[in-house]
Amino acid sequence: MRGAVWLAMFVAAMFALAGIGPSAQAAVHVGQAAPALTVPELDGKAFDLTAQRGKVVIIHYWATWCAPCRKEMPVLDAFYRRYRSRGLEVIALSVDREHDRAEVNRVMSSFAFPAAMSDDASVEDVGKPSAVPVTLVIDRNGIVRASLTPDESPLTEKLLTEVVVPLLTGEATSRPPPIRADH
């Protein structure tokens, strides 16, 4: 029991150091229009969520110090490589601090999808999640269809296939949002 208490205190301290907490809750609601997001990617290109209309977009919040995040990244990368030609876009938003940018770049060099530092966003109405990882799925019309967290369902190829592929094929346009995970 003491180990669990220590772990909970450690995780809370890490979130506090990273600026993630209840006051930084993401302003995202499943079933509603995705908030604005404009951010320079690590390679200098601009990512604008509004410009992605017509594509299915995954926004993945993560951090270099987050073990579950690092476990999900290869799954997300394989899924992105498989479906990007069908209209899938992914942006990984690191909640790491600016002084960790080199480590973020090092980690992201292994992956095909782009990444950005969440603090670099010039228009970011999505805010920061209260915990990481969080994966938001946005349909071709800019509607948030899912908010996925590992405590609800670990990010797996199977889960991504169930949630994202129907959006890519147009099968889910008239259905209600498939998953709602409060975070």
Backbone angles phi, psi at 138, to 5 degrees: -120, 130
Buried b (16+ CB within 10 A) or exposed e, 87-113: bbbbbbbbbbeeebbeebeebbeebeb
Radius of gyration of the chain (CA): 16
Residue 143 token pair? 């509607």
**Which residues span the domain enclosing 139?**
2-169
pLDDT at position 153, please?
Answer: 83
The pTM of the full predicted model, rounded to 2 decimals, is: 0.79
pLDDT at position 29, please?
Answer: 85
Report if residue 177 sits inside a domain. no
pLDDT at position 28, please?
Answer: 76
Report if residue 174 sits inside a domain. no
Q: Which residue numbers in the chain have pLDDT < 50?
A: 1-26, 173-183
pLDDT at position 175, please?
Answer: 44
Report if residue 65 sits inside a domain. yes
Report if residue 126 sits inside a domain. yes
One-character DSSP codes across 111-161: -SS-EEEGGG-SEETT---SSS-EEEEE-TTSBEEEEE-TTTS---HHHHH
Nearest 5°: the CA angle 78, 135, 70 is: 55
Residue reference for tokens 């969440």: 118
Which CATH number goes with the domain that contains 161?
3.40.30.10
pLDDT at position 129, please?
Answer: 76
Report if residue 176 sits inside a domain. no
pLDDT at position 125, please?
Answer: 60
**Predicted confidence (pLDDT) per residue in 63-84, tens digit:** 999 999 989 999 999 999 999 9
